[in-house]
Amino acid sequence: MAPIIKEELKKILVETGLKLLEEGLTVGTWGNFSVRDPETGLIYITPSGMDYRLIVTGDIVVLDPSLQVVDGHRVPSIEREMHAAVYRARQDVNAVVHTHPLYSTVLGVTRMDLPGISEDFAQIVGDKIICSEYALPGTRELAKNVVAALGDKNAVLLPNHGTLCVGPQMPITLTICHLVEKSAHIFIMAKSIGTPHLISPEDILAMQDYARNVYGQR
């Protein structure tokens, strides 16, 4: 029986590429992103090395959990092992975005973790995100290192490379991408003029509870 392929999931990836370019979170053909269909387990991922301004739904590649192509004629992203490894490790994740943003990459180059320095970061991302061990792009070693550093958090810095953010759906994952890059920018600027003051673990937990249970419309 042929797998059910959902055009709406392909459309999400096409739109995501344009948003990332417009908002300066990646450049050229760099980065990659995917969504997992929780109903079928299929992974929809961007093609390798294509201009995001030119990608259409027909260019999106659909993989099964073992990374066999079940739909699409393009070569899938070289980081498909990394995406699949995250999905295997995290059943709560159905969207993965890997980008090459400026300030987050600066932290990765210096092997620095990013602590919770702003309230929005603390509420959505947590107390900190850490930098993984280095491995070459597209390798299983990189996938293993990323999963280990990601743990139960929703973002990780890739040394000399970029960032990876995850979430239950693409909109919240893109929000996490923005918060990580904004916080990296603030952290670098703050360190240039003084010592950043971090939010206490107790206040971070309180803000996360507030964001989950109180903030917004109910």
Q: Where are the alpha helices (DSSP H) in the chain?
A: 7-22, 80-89, 102-109, 119-124, 140-150, 170-193, 201-213
| Residue 71 phi, psi (nearest 5) | -160, 140
Closest CA to 152 of 209, 91, 101: 91
Please name the amino acid found at residue 180. Answer: V
Active site residue 79: yes
Q: Are 93 and 166 in contact (CB under 8 A)?
A: yes
| Residue 157 phi, psi (nearest 5) | -90, 135
**Measured distance CA(132)–CA(173) in Å, rounded:** 19
| CA angle centred on 154, ends 194 and 101, rounded to 5° | 60
Residues in the chain, how many? Answer: 218
Catalytic entry in 22, 79, 141, 202: 79
Q: Are 33 and 46 in contact (CB under 8 A)?
A: yes
Q: DSSP character for 74?
A: S
Burial of 211 (0-12, 13-18, 19+ CB in 10 A): middle
Residues known to be catalytic = 79
